[in-house]
Amino acid sequence: MATGRCTTCGSQLTAYSICPHCGSLIGVENAVRRVRGLIHARVARAQKHFPHRLSTLQFLWICALIPLAIVPPVLSLLASVKLMGRPAAARWDNQLEWIITIATINLLLSVLVLSRFHFSPSELASYLRGSIFLPILDMIPNVPDRGPFPQTPDQAMPI
């Protein structure tokens, strides 16, 4: 009883969703294809609400305004300083000055806040583990403890 052809090698399929020739999991491949199609359709629908292309200045403004992150404001600051020296970007000089100012202020405030609360990556991970993961693990019912493992066969508990 043939149900179709394998999408990978083209051989005839039987009632199972595993290709007898190449071993492909046809059901999994079809599910992945459907999920990719759904994601592509939703991204395309969401992109209709945004401009077709993000301009350089829009990207620099977004990076300059991201709080409590060090890399985006630094990226915005360095890119703006580099763009100011180019003659092609002379029309953007006023906006680039504002981007540099905002990125510098955001960078300083982010560093102050992070140093004030001592948020190193390991402390932040520990905080997230303690505040998010441990309460979730506490909700899972514990397996009753049967005591220590028996050391000798005569100490073994009956089942």
Residues 80 and 33 reside in one and the same domain: no
| Higher pLDDT among residues 97 and 12, named by residue | 97
Residues 107 and 85 reside in one and the same domain: yes
Total residue count of the chain as it appears in this document: 159
Q: What residues are paired with 4 via a beta bridge?
A: 13
Residues 27 and 8 reside in one and the same domain: yes
Vertex 120 angle, CA 115 and 122, to 5°: 160
Residue 2 has pLDDT above 50, yes or no: no
Burial of 83 (0-12, 13-18, 19+ CB in 10 A): buried
Domain count, the chain: 2
pTM of the model: 0.45
pLDDT in tens, 71-117: 899 999 999 988 888 887 778 888 899 999 999 999 998 888 777 66
Both tokens assigned to 69: 């992150």
Residue 16 has pLDDT above 70, yes or no: no
Residue 50's φ and ψ, nearest 5 degrees, are: -110, 160
Both tokens assigned to 60: 């620099």
Residues 65 and 34 reside in one and the same domain: no
Domain boundary among 96, 116, 136: 116
Both tokens assigned to 140: 């899972």
Q: Greatest CA span in the chain, whole angstroms? A: 88
Give a yes or no: residue 11 inside a domain: yes
Residues 83 and 107 reside in one and the same domain: yes
Residues 28 and 68 reside in one and the same domain: no
Give a yes or no: residue 106 inside a domain: yes
| Sign (positive or negative) of CA dihedral 139, 140, 143, 148 | negative
Give the C-alpha distances (Å, rounded to integers) separating 130 from 59, 113, 116, 135, 145: 35, 21, 20, 8, 24
Residues 60 and 110 reside in one and the same domain: yes
Residue range(s) defining the domain that contains residue 11: 4-47
Reported confidence tier of residue 32, pLDDT bands at 50, 70, 90? confident
Give a yes or no: residue 127 inside a domain: no
